Structure 1
Amino acid sequence: MIESKIKISQEREKAVLVGVSTPGQPEEKTREYLDELQFLADTAGAEVVGTLTQKLQHPNPATYIGSGKLEELGEMVRTLEANLVIFDDELSATQIRNLEKFLQVKILDRTNLILDIFAGRARTSYARAQVELAQYEYLLPRLTRMWAHLERQKGGIGLRGPGETQIETDRRIIQQKIALLTEKLKKIDRQMATQRKHRGDMVRVALVGYTNVGKSTLMNLLSKANVFAENKLFATLDTTVRKVVLQDVAFLLSDTVGFIRKLPTQLVESFKSTLDEVRESDLLLHVVDISHPAFEDHIIAVNQTIQELLQGQEKKIVMVFNKIDLYQPAKRDPDDLSPLQKDQMTLDDWQQTWMAKAAGDCVFISAEKKINIDSLREVLYREVKKIRDARYPYAGIKTDI
């Protein structure tokens, strides 16, 4: 009997994904987001059994999707025996409550799903505190849904208090927890800032990029570190810093949490201190998975987040296009005289394009297969040495005295 209970608890939840196309988000983009949402669901441990999309002028304020699609979704949930529905955008407390009431299954939105993944990936007490704070900030405005069945005065012996409802009690408790976590993180931030100062004036390089582009694999390769790397989203939450020496130049290399489109604002706020490595670095290596069909969108998403973090600071950025061993251009008919499509471009085409865009500050590699790593080391050495020599004009001069 115990064995069967364990078996049941280990079964993957069956999920249906839902996305809405609006005038600001075309259908093609919605499909891209749903592909990413499927990867997120898989990372969280769910099995995606179906997807549903709808084209709307704007999402329904009561149920996110229209009444007809809601009926269709209900039928899909029953037919596929799904016990979880995940929406690609953030839902309000009212939408979640109405959807759960109609579908009789658990409802998650993209933000909640990402927070759940972060909670599972957090290894250190610092990362756990950051995730916990983000979860409470997400939860606070949604308490109405969670305590809809308790929205009445508490009663019973020993429970006759000052007339506070259960939801008010929980809201107060969560606000207290948020205040405590915020203070705890501020204290850790001060400690980490002191640690960063004690690293001296060494040149600092930060790996940045979309989630699952191979930053941790590259970190391990360059620094001979043992950073956890896996083909899952958000494999790394804690910043890892290692000393790297190239010829006569030493610098500090840090691996940061990966970015993602529609990154929850709660996480951006909670992880600001972790992303201080980006702000305080001298050089950024922007790692890109060139084998991903939406890699240019990923570049835009990362650049937007970097701009928000830097707040006007100028920072040298080197583009590192990773996973060239996995890149496969679409086949083109030799008789086709139409302009070359982006998915038909070869690696040489992309290299020429980005060498021009980045003024030569880009390199194409495979960290997994160790292809063209020497070229990356050369670029790194050149840029780090340039920063070091500007900071310490006599550091590289040898004398016989």
Structure 2
Amino acid sequence: MSTRSRAKAARRRAISEHTLGSGPADLFSRPGGGERAVTVHVRLPGDALDAADEFVALADSAGAEVVGRFSHRRDAPDPRTFIGRGKVAELAAQVEALEAALVLVDQPLSAAQERNLEADLGCRVLDRTGLILDIFAQRARTFEGRLQVELAQLKHVSSRLVRGWSHLERQKGGIGLRGPGEKQLEMDRRLIGGRMQQIERRLSKVRRTREQGRKARRRRQLPVVSLVGYTNAGKTTLFNALTGASRLAEDRLFATLDPTWRRVDLGAGTAAVISDTVGFISRLPHDLVAAFRSTLEEVSDADLLLHIIDAGAEEREHQIEQVEAVLSEIGAEAVPTLRVYNKVDTTALTPGRLNDDADGCAGVRISARDGVGLDELLAAIAARIAPLRVRRQILLAPEQGRLRAQLFRIGQVLEERYTESGWLEVAVELPHHELERLCVREGLLPERITEWQAADMPC
């Protein structure tokens, strides 16, 4: 039997041992850890930088034992194997010499490219998207997180089904037994589609629960501050330092997946809700962004974002660009942001506040691990939050009921009454950037917005 035939037979046996729809881990046959792996880094002309070390860190975070590294430069991907026939032969020799059981490719592969590489190399092949999904599947702890990861995995695996067995073709119909019946491949696709619909229904219920939580926080008039940043920038360590929590903080990529909220006192009688969120990374799979929509909505609905930056990272500017790109993708680019340069203990930088030309705070340098610069950070957060929420009296026309519903959703409606002409006056407290969004997207006229004081409208 040829190498290609043996690889196909092994892959079919591995897949057939699992039942679709029983959980994220059932989609792939994965050991718990310690797999011997070879990483393949292919740099294309459009790549911003060489991120081979980051991909090795990703493999280590997934539990793989990296025993070899293979680097290659190409002007364009090979349509069959991505790396080309000659490089496949070199890679196969390295895999055999190192007795590796897994090849990890730092590029998104098509289903055909992945199957062709597995056939030529005689071992399992995983692209960047599959590796990140595997890490997320390991780290998800909450019910919502597991559903989100499983949904992303199902979307990814739906294009990689290879079974086409004909043992179900006896399901034929008609007097002359016209045509074949449902094949195993078609049955798998139907099962996956049904499971995805079931997960979407469950996630919709979770999203409603999240929305209720956001409304409760708005009723308490507590501003929400979300920690965002590149993975392994130190968000969870800072979260623990600010709130006194004891969340697990590890020096590895995607150590945090499920969001958490805690109240923190900012001094002078003010407080805020701090949320720790999942880290971002370059070329974050779109399926993950879509599946984690309800989680990422917490970021876009925040009053202030703390962009945590690893001050000692060599690719610091690139990481900042990637985080800002993801924020723009999820609609959070308009949320006020304060940059926090963490891990200054690993650099020669001095902790403290960074002033801009307008004598404002452009950022804060801290060490979350050592607790250095946290007082300056809390003062900067309090100064940024103070003008973020505004109280306005808004005049709505009778046909603007949809806009009234949005005011209830994004802010705290203090009072409302109808005028003699049938218009509605609404007193609302809401984030300033949300008010700007309403003016731009909903056509809310500035002349219908006035400052509000408690005596403006009688109860």
Which whole-Å CA distance do the structure 2 matches of 1:11 and 1:325 have between them? 32
TM-score by length of 2: 0.73
Partner amino acid for 1:325? D
Quick check: 2:261–2:274 contact (8 Å CA) kept in 1? yes
State how far apart, in whole Å, the 1-side matches of 2:362 and 2:258 are.
28
1:350 CA displacement: 12
Give, in whole Å, the separation in 2 of the partners of 1:350 and 1:69.
Answer: 50
| Residues 28-59 of structure 1: CA deviation (Å, up to 9, x unaligned) | x23x2x21111111011111111112221111
Matched residue of 1:108: which SS? strand
User: Which residue does the alignment assign to 2:326?
Assistant: 305
Q: Could you tell me how far 1:239 is from its partner in structure 2?
A: 1.1
The root-mean-square deviation of aligned C-alpha atoms, in Å, is 2.5
Equivalence for 1:17: 39
Between the aligned partners of 2:172 and 2:168, the Cα distance in structure 1 is 9
Structure 2 partner of 1:335: none
The letter for the 2-side match of 1:14 is R
Amino acid paired to 2:312: S
**Distance in structure 2 (CA, Å) of the matches to 1:357 and 1:235:** 37
Aligned-partner residue type, residue 255 of structure 2: A
Alignment of 1:243-258 (within 5 A): 243-247=263-267, 248-258=269-279
Whole-Å Cα distance in 1 between the matches of residues 359 and 231 of structure 2?
Answer: 22
Cα deviation 1:103-158 (Å, max 9, x = unaligned)? 101100010000000000000111000000000000011113xx2xxx232259xx
> Per-residue displacement from partner, 1:303-344 (whole Å, max 9, x unpaired)?
011111126x622110000001112xxxxxxxxxxxxxxxxx
> Which of 204, 216, 220 matches 2:224?
204
The letter of the residue matching 1:255 is: D
Q: Distance in 1 between matches of 2:452 and 2:368?
A: 34
Q: Distance in 1 between matches of 2:83 and 2:357?
A: 44
Match of 1:154 among 151, 160, 167: 167
AA of the residue aligned to 2:121: L
**In the TM superposition, what is the alpha-carbon distance from 1:355 to its structure 2 partner?**
4.5
The question of whether the paired residues in 2 share the 8 Å contact of 1:154 and 1:164 is answered with no
Q: Shift in Å at residue 85 of structure 1?
A: 0.4
Counterpart selection for 1:218 from 229, 238, 257: 238
Question: What amino acid sits opposite 2:321 in the alignment?
Answer: I
Q: Structure 1 residue 228 and structure 2 residue 252: aligned?
A: no
Alignment partner of 1:284: what SS?
Answer: strand
C-alpha change, 1:209 and 1:161, in structure 2 (3 Å) is: farther
Aligned match of 2:308: 287
Is the CA contact 2:351–2:366 (under 8 Å) kept in the aligned structure 1? no
Counterparts of 1:69-148 in structure 2 under 5 Å?
69-144=87-162, 147=163
Question: Shift of residue 348 of structure 1?
Answer: 6.1
Q: Highest Rg: 1 or 2?
A: 2
Q: Which residue is 1:374 aligned to?
A: 375
Q: Please give the alpha-carbon distance, in whole angstroms, between the structure 2 residues aligned to 1:127 and 1:357.
A: 42
Q: Contact 1:121/1:237 (CA < 8 Å) preserved in 2?
A: yes
Question: Which runs of 5 or more structure 1 residues have no equivalent in the other structure?
Answer: 1-8, 328-345, 396-401
Q: Could you say which structure has the higher strand fraction?
A: 2
SS of match in other structure, 1:212: coil
Match of 2:297 in 1: 276
In the superposition, relative to structure 1, how do residues 276 and 236 fare at CA in structure 2: closer, same or farther (>3 Å)?
same
**1:137-191 Cα deviation digits (max 9, x unpaired):** 00011113xx2xxx232259xx646611111000010011111111111111011
| Count of residues paired in the alignment | 356
Cα separation, 1, equivalents of 2:293 and 2:389: 27
Q: Contact (CA 8 Å) 1:205, 1:284: kept in 2 or not?
A: yes
Shift of 1:386: 3.0
| CA deviation after TM superposition for structure 1 residue 351, in Å | 8.3
Query: In structure 1, how many angstroms separate the alpha carbons of the residues matched to 2:78 and 2:359?
Result: 43
Instruction: Give the corresponding residue for 1:334.
Output: none
The residue matched to 1:370 in structure 2 has which SS?
A: coil
SS in 2 for 1:217: helix
Mapped to 1, the partners of 2:199 and 2:230 lie a distance apart of: 27
1:394 and 1:250 map into 2 onto residues whose CA distance is 23
For the 8 Å contact 1:249–1:384, the answer to whether it is kept is: no
Question: Separation in 2 of the partners of 1:241 and 1:373?
Answer: 18
| Contact 2:140-2:258 at 8 Å conserved across structures | yes
- Contact 2:350–2:365 (8 Å) recurs in 1: no
Per-residue deviation, 1:226: 2.3
Whether contact under 8 Å (1:249, 1:385) holds in the other structure is no
CA distance in 2, matches of 1:103, 1:135: 24
Tell me: CA distance 1:301–1:359, structure 2 relative to 1, closer, same or farther (3 Å): farther
Distance 1:379 1:36 in 2: 32
Q: Aligned letter for 2:294?
A: S
Q: Is the 8 A contact 1:16 1:85 kept in 2?
A: yes
Amino acid at match of 2:293: K
> Which of the pair is proportionally richer in helix?
1
Is the alpha carbon distance of 1:155 and 1:178 closer, same or farther for their aligned partners in structure 2, counting shifts above 3 Å?
closer
Task: State the distance in 2 between where 1:49 and 1:375 align.
Answer: 44
Unaligned runs of 5+ in 2: 1-30, 174-180, 392-428, 431-450, 454-459
Change (3 A) 1:251 1:53: same
CA distance in 2, matches of 1:161, 1:131: 37
2: CA distance between counterparts of 1:220 and 1:128? 24
Q: TM-score, normalised on structure 1?
A: 0.83
| Higher mean C-alpha deviation, range 266-275 or range 373-382 | 373-382
